[in-house]
A and B are shown apart, each in its own frame.
Chain A
């Protein structure tokens, strides 16, 4: 709150507080990095937080692994396509929910969200059957395809996106649309010329977070793909089990999966606070 901003210069204590809480936040990540930079021999014995020599084999091994490259590519394609699809559809849906009279609107809104509540484990079975036996055209199955995961991730990302965007769209005054309609614009023009620019922070955040959720998903990806569409999170779990517990390789892979996510986060920093109102009404 601005009333707390008594002096522009922050005290020593504030900075100390932030440094301390940053250290706590960073310790697990740092340890993951430390493990990725150590050889097997260095890991055991007394765990040292220091990195004395950088053991590059974990990284070179992972990066030159064709499976890793394919998994990474799949993840990037799936997360990006899903985020784009979800953000676009959620904008349409939220606009309709916000601007039109719809019978049982609040119930419909709540129903979309219930799609995110289902315990994922049990839906693996019906989805597996649907993907291998029902959604089949000739030889083409939805199983083990990127498109299959892109659509599936909509089930838990669309509710989240609609929930996030609702507050944003509701906060844009209706008079703005009315004025544009009076000027002879059609609905599409109102949406793209008036709503879109104003909702941009919200859309940016929605896009980023849905991207992150899709990037991070593991259970469905592990069950509904076998070879071609495997994602990096399934790869991460594979590296653990197949090679015994090769902690170094696994930590290196985990560090590498952070890189694209960090790039996306970096792009979003500017918008992220402005866009997150989560359906909470502005007073």
Chain B
């Protein structure tokens, strides 16, 4: 009836595709990571480098700076998205006229291609063309120029990410909120709990798995952002918004330092997996606890 062959038959196509198009390139990167290989170098041939590339990484200020920037970017973006997404999701739980219409509007940014999102925000912020610098200067006398000021550029990329991805968080948390049981809330109201107490002691714990799952998926994607930021700032001014994905792209393509770029992405991938694993462990631990009860 349910033979053990069947389960592998179901998994086989997925594993096969992931192997051919995911694992094979990964193995290649793994090998190259231990090679000196730069087609623009004096010696363009590939040769074994031992752990040279990895040793170089530890002292590479640009790499470490880019890594730090990426973490900062992901932290601010994901945190704001969760907070904002929660508020919006909670607001969508009420009934009000035109709910479907507003929900559609709030889902819109999600379907825009990152490259188009970057272009849109560039149009908004580019000096001489965009309304944002123009009106900020005219009404508030504030000089807004993301190709000049580091903080403004960083801040703009974060805001862009929030604009683009909060809809996903809102939808996820909305789905989670709608599936929560009613009884604890009614009971708490009868017991005279105030809104904050209900939020802190009931909503939040019940919502924790959904929040963790959302943080997980957002974190993962924020850490590998390339297109939108590349389109908006090109990584500049200087290296102020050169997040790790962009940095690796620069090392591998314009500089053709394949070996070093591979080592860099291996370390980045490793760090991403560790961070996501910790989040995931939190999720699974909870699931097992539930099962044990």
Provided the pairs A122-B252, A275-B175 are in contact, do residues A47 and B107 lie with their beta carbons within 8 angstroms?
A: no
Question: Does the CB pair B131–A47 fall under 8 Å?
Answer: yes
Task: Verify B124–A236 contact, CB threshold 8 A.
Answer: no
Give the number of residue pairs across the A-B interface with Cβ within 8 Å: 306
Digitize B213-245: 1 where CB-to-A-CB distance is under 8 Å, 0 elsewhere. Answer: 110010011011011000100000000000011
- Whether the pair A43, B129 counts as a contact (CB closer than 8 A) is yes
Asked whether A257 and B268 contact (CB < 8 A) given A122-B261, A154-B21, A273-B175, the answer is no
A-contact 0/1 string along B251-263, CB 8 Å cutoff: 0110000100110
Residues of chain B contacted by A140 (CB below 8 angstroms): none
Bound complex: CA of A126 vs CA of B189, how far in Å? Answer: 59
A212 touches B119 (CB 8 A): no
Q: Interface segment, B11-19, B42-50, B147-155?
A: B11-19
A243 at the interface (CB under 8 A from B): no
Does A162 lie within 8 Å of B21, measured CB to CB? no
The bracket for how many chain A residues form the interface is 35 or more
Cross-chain contact A273 with B112 (CB below 8 angstroms):
no
The CA of A247 and the CA of B116, in the complex, are separated in Å by 12
Which has the most chain A C-beta neighbours within 10 Å: B25, B26, B182? Answer: B25
Q: Which chain A residues lie closer than 8 Å to B203 at the CB level?
A: 1
B96 contacts A by Cβ under 8 Å: yes
The main secondary structure of chain B at its interface with chain A is: helix
Complex Cα distance, B8 from A126, in Å, reads 28
Does B172 reach chain A (CB closer than 8 Å)? Answer: yes
Whether A277 touches B179, Cβ cut-off 8 Å, given contacts A21-B88, A186-B1, A218-B227, is yes
With A35-B123, A47-B130, A218-B227 given, is the CB distance from A119 to B113 under 8 Å? Answer: no
CB-CB under 8 A from B142, the residues of chain A are none
**Which residues of chain A are within 8 angstroms of B24 by Cβ–Cβ distance?**
126, 130
Contact with A along B162-185 (1 / 0, CB 8 A): 010000000110111111111001
Find out whether the CB atom of B269 lies under 8 angstroms from the CB atom of A117.
Answer: yes
Tell whether, in the assembled complex, residue B264 and residue A122 are in contact, meaning their CB atoms are under 8 Å apart: yes
Among B14, B181, B231, the residue within 8 A (CB) of A283 is B181
Q: Contact: A119 with B121, CB < 8 Å?
A: no
Check A1–B177 contact: CB distance below 8 A.
yes
On chain B, the residues within 8 Å of A163 by CB distance are 213, 217
Query: Within 8 Å CB of B14, what residues of A?
Result: 89-90, 92-93, 112, 158, 162
Q: Does A41 contact B (CB under 8 A)?
A: no
What is the CA–CA distance of A266 and B103 in the complex, to the nearest angstrom?
11
- Mark out the residues of chain A between 82 and 137 whose CB falls within 8 Å of any chain B CB in the assembled complex: 89-90, 92-93, 95-97, 99-100, 102, 106, 108, 110, 112-127, 129-130
Contact with B along A207-249 (1 / 0, CB 8 A): 0000010011011000000000000110011001000000100
B60 at the interface (CB under 8 A from A): no
A32 within 8 A of B: yes
Contact B120 A280 (CB under 8 A): no
Taking the nearest CB of chain B, how far is it from the CB of A262, in angstroms? 7
Which of A18, A160, A277 has most chain B Cβ within 10 Å? A18
Task: Give CA–CA (A90, B134) in the complex, Å.
Answer: 48
Query: Within 8 Å of chain B (Cβ to Cβ): is A179?
Result: no
Q: Please provide the 3 A-B residue pairs with the shortest distance between their CB atoms, ordered closest to farther.
A: A10-B96, A121-B249, A122-B265
